[in-house]
Amino acid sequence: MSDTDDLAELAKRRGFYFGSAGAYGGVAGFYSFGPQGAALKRNVEDAWRETFTTRLGNHEIAGPTVMPEPVFEASGHLDGFDDMLVDCPGCGESHRADHLVEDATGVEDAEAIPIPEVEELIADSELVCPSCGTSLAGQPVEEFNLMFETTIGPGDGQSGYLRPETAQAIFVEFPRLKQYARNQLPFGITQIGPAYRNEISPRRGIVRTREFTQAELEQFVDPTDDDPPLADVADVELRLYPTTEQETVSGEYLVRTVREAVAEGVVESTWVAYFLGTAQRWYDRIGVDGRRLRFRQHLPGERAHYASDCWDAESEIGGEAAPDRLSDDPTAGEWIEIAGFSDRGAYDLSKHDEYGDSEFTVFRQYDEPREVDRATVDPDMSVLGPKYGGDAADVADALQELARRDPDAFDDGSVTVTVDGEPYEVASEVANFAVETVTEAGEHLMPHVIEPSFGVDRTVYTLLAHGYREDEVDGEPRTSLALAAEVAPTAVGVFPLVSNDDDLVALAESVAAELRAAGLDVAYDESGNIGRRYRRQDEVGTPLCVTVDHESVEGGREATVTVRDRDTTAQVRLSVDGLDDDLTAVVAGERSFASLREAGVVVGE
């Protein structure tokens, strides 16, 4: 088996993740996280929250996963949240067309290619259905909206959708959230929770699923006055793969510090650069292999129309290419997106400001009052009333909004506004458009949004793929997961050397209880020989194991235990008194195992 197959087998056997509803045949794209996986995922989320919410001084919300249709009409998801679908004429199986092209040809990022060109690539490459082998040449490629639709309330109710991203739950609440931030920019709102996309072709386990967890930060900034604390991450080194290198046959990585990347214009947005540096530090902290991590800039064709710039954090998960080659050759390995960093501009708030009933702006007070030119309209209701009846008031409001957003629209002899989807043409003289000079104390500013968005499930998969190890210990093969102690599902395994000695068992249970009371996740195990118990904990990534033996019991008040390190299998004998403090410090990253060996009695040397 390949490393990938071995990892999938380990994940299922040891309770990290497995296909859900197996008793009913399962359903593609939905996975359950078992005891080990749920703990690992929770620890990843807590680590993300500690960095991107607590340390950065942001605030967290928890929005609903079902939202009404108008939210997604405003956001553009109803019209533009599509993937390319091609149906097999033989077996009727649906496939994602761009993935078929990418898998069978040398084309990358096929989702950015227009549909007619994808159809040509399918025909020219003589692609066939992966399920039955029927030719797909000449089959139409269609757009398929990825949102799950539902009904809110009984009967016909109200149309709604499961959210395809957590971001909209933050954007729609901006009018209230800005009050909590006292209308002071910049401020950030985070959210961790499930999102749903009706993927055409779920694949690679938890890499591409129909339900997944996102951890997102929406940073609201004044684009003219607000700068990030770039000095905090200025010296963080990044491995960058910008568009200029991707579009070159011999393109290479650019290794730059955050400071250098900004100074050279490799990363244009200082806010995006700041979050790239923050993310790099976080990935280092939770155990992502830096040799298998890169930041790739979106090509023009794949970047969202509203984003001025976008970078993805990508991890290599193939496990077959040598690390040195991965470090030098951007085309080597199998890369997946695990996070996106986007400058979304004012797009999101402006769309909800247009469609919603609340103000999505922030009032910024000037240091001193200013005289400014303001566009106004004073619609002649004696004309609008008879002409448009009950819609006249709404037409007048629409004229006021148009004057605010686009005063140049009144330069012609007439303007057209839309009310409830219907166009209304109004003569400029009836609108009574004018520009007046007024004194203002401040202005209403539409903030820009900088968005770091992390895929939690893909991060979990990355940690498993990067931590997977096969080696030999005492002449026997061993499988282990080199997970960072902070995110490992279990922090410490505790064993009595044998299970038929009441004194050993009692002391081991007491040690386990004390470690749990100190806040450590502990696995207590007295089944099988001690070597087998070590192997079980190695396989789930437990960084430390404590063994209570006869010497421990004989020590009385000065009892000691053996502490074993997962990665090196080195051991040290430490006093039970103070053991909770010693192990807590190692798990928290405040001490190394080597420092424990210096302080204790080394075993086996």
Please spell the DSSP secondary structure of 489-542, one letter per residue: S-SEEEEES-SS-HHHHHHHHHHHHHHHHTT--EEE--SS-HHHHHHHHHHTT-
d(CA 256, CA 336): 22
Query: Apex CA 215: angle with CA 153 and CA 266, to 5°?
Result: 130
d(CA 176, CA 195): 23
Q: Is the C-alpha dihedral spanning 162, 164, 167, 168 positive or negative?
A: negative
Structure confidence at residue 437 (pLDDT)? 87
This prediction's pTM = 0.86
Torsions phi, psi for 579 (to 5 deg): -60, -40
Closest CA to 75 of 208, 178, 152, 166: 166
Judge residue 536's burial from the number of C-beta atoms within 10 Å of its C-beta, 0-12 exposed, 13-18 middle, 19 or more buried: middle
Tokens 């969202």 map to which residue?
304
Structure confidence at residue 390 (pLDDT)? 87
Judge residue 368's burial from the number of C-beta atoms within 10 Å of its C-beta, 0-12 exposed, 13-18 middle, 19 or more buried: exposed
Measured from the Cβ of residue 557, the count of other Cβ atoms closer than 10 Å reads: 7
d(CA 302, CA 84): 14
For residue 164, the SS3 value is coil
Q: Looking at residue 48, what DSSP letter applies?
A: H
Half-sphere exposure of 407 (CA within 13 A, CB side): 11
Q: Which regions of the chain are under pLDDT 70?
A: 1-2, 319-326, 557, 604-605
Q: Are 206 and 458 in contact (CB under 8 A)?
A: yes
